[in-house]
Structure 1
Amino acid sequence: MKENDLPYRDAAAVMLLNGDNKVFVALRIDNAAEAWQMPQGGLEEGEDPEAGMLRELEEETGIRPDLVRVIARARRTLFYDLPEDLVGKVWKGKYRGQRQHWFLARFLGTDADVNLETAEPEFRGWRWAEPAELPRIIVPFKRRLYEDVLEEFADHL
């Protein structure tokens, strides 16, 4: 099966803002590069995207759902394609990329509420970033996606 024939994996993602309107970003544990990303992950069969986003956020960062207030949802579903060299390696080669439901949310907790030492750690570091710097600090194959996310939530930033 060619990569273009593969489906997209359904996923949810969050642009999490602190009180200074900075965005939570983290470094993946499986990538040695200085490539940051916002929390995101695959949806389970039949899972509501907002519930999936909150579940993924807690699984990846330790941030509990009661510390998050959803502000907005992207008007459209956003996509990204994996680079050719990753298609056969990621997600057991079943997907070409992700179809993501994006949410903008306010973090109501403190930095002490972030805990990357989760049951299955995905990140090795985190920080708060200016929204405008996101496309520059992300892995290159997600740059267009992050530009689209910024466009979707521009009225709130």
Structure 2
Amino acid sequence: MSVRGSGEISTNRKAGRDFHISDKFEAGIELKGTEVKSIRAGKINVSDAFARVEKGQVFLYGCNIQPWETAAEWFNHTAQRPRRLLLHKQEIFKLEQAMALQGCTLPLLRMYWKDRRVKVEIGIGKGKTHSDQRHDLKKKVELREAQREIQRFNRK
């Protein structure tokens, strides 16, 4: 858990594995008070979260923020509701073009605190094929083995 007001809330490691990320955007997110309390408590899952441009606005889908336990039922939020992202018009236009022309998706990369506000980082992602994923895994293994050999050599 991070210090209140700054730091990482959650990271979507699945997005880095499944997509080639070409560009990143920082966006504000429209939340209710009970959602902020749940985020502070760490009750959030962003592994399947993605954004979509609809009618000139960007909405975040698949972000699971658990309801706050002590809040009244009528005051609480639903866990999987679409949440509006706050971006400039030029950024929304770029995202819309990337989705329409290039066939890209907008996965949520991470959620973090910035000056007591919750911010999200979304990326323009092109899906990786299965062979791309295997190639990345092979590269990681080779890098890890090379680091081990360097450490072994430096110990002598």
Tell me the TM-score normalized by structure 2: 0.25
More strand by percentage: 2
Radius of gyration: which is bigger?
2
TM-score when normalising by structure 1:
0.25
